[in-house]
Amino acid sequence: MTRQPHGDARPDIESLREDIVFTVELRGRRFEFATTWGLFSPRAVDPGSQLLIRYLEIEVQDDCLDLGCGYGAIGLSMASLAPRGRTLMVDKDFVAVQYAAQNAARNGIGNAEALLSNGLAQVPPGHSDVVATNLPAKSGKELYRIMFHDVHRRLRPGGRFYVVSLSGLRRFVARELQAAFGNCEKLKTSGQYTLALARKE
């Protein structure tokens, strides 16, 4: 067997280094997203995020926050629905933050910014009207509890927190939202995903 010299990268490997670019329509707007391998669902907006985006209720002036933004599909949808508000997209992965910021510019969305943060730990003080998250499946229930209570503190009275998760987590999510907010409403179950809503009273 002939081994290829280490210095000669195979052409197919080089092609994998290139950005993945796709277009999708979300809430009546066409978006173009650039992503890369290593980010969650890099070739298409995943079904959980699509479910969440479909059922978001957002006013044009709402200040929004996308918690765990990835390359920005949820956050940029929120910013598009709330052009007179500000949307903050946060993620603990610096590559995700970089791509979310690039995708805001790529789609001409000037009312959104991306920030590196583990949950809300590095987010400046302030308040939001809507927070949304596609709950990562493997981050650990302790982190989810911290996130839910931090979101409750950040929301304005009457604010909404949308959580989409794998349906296997739905009972845990409902219990923890009830503990943090005093309420939880199941909005929709679709395939493997369940969308829940909690309101700050």
Could you tell me which of 146, 62, 52, 67 has the C-alpha nearest to residue 114? 67
Structure confidence at residue 75 (pLDDT) = 98
Query: 185 φ, ψ to 5°?
Result: -125, 125
For all residues of the chain together, what is the average pLDDT? 93
Distances (CA, A) of 47 to 41, 57, 139: 10, 18, 19
Could you tell me which of 54, 81, 77 has the C-alpha nearest to residue 66? 77
Structure confidence at residue 77 (pLDDT) = 98
Q: Where are the domains of the chain?
A: 45-199
Domain 45-199 part of CATH 3.40.630.40 = no
Structure confidence at residue 1 (pLDDT) = 46
Question: What are the pLDDT digits (tens) for 5-63?
Answer: 455 556 688 888 898 999 999 999 999 999 999 999 999 999 999 999 999 999 999 99
Structure confidence at residue 191 (pLDDT) = 85
Question: What are the pLDDT digits (tens) for 62-116?
Answer: 999 999 999 999 999 999 999 999 999 999 999 999 999 999 999 999 999 999 9
Q: Is the per-residue pLDDT at 145 higher than 90?
A: yes
Q: Which residue has the tokens 């510019």?
A: 105
Question: What are the pLDDT digits (tens) for 48-77?
Answer: 999 999 999 999 999 999 999 999 999 999
User: Quick check: helix, strand or coil at residue 37?
Assistant: strand
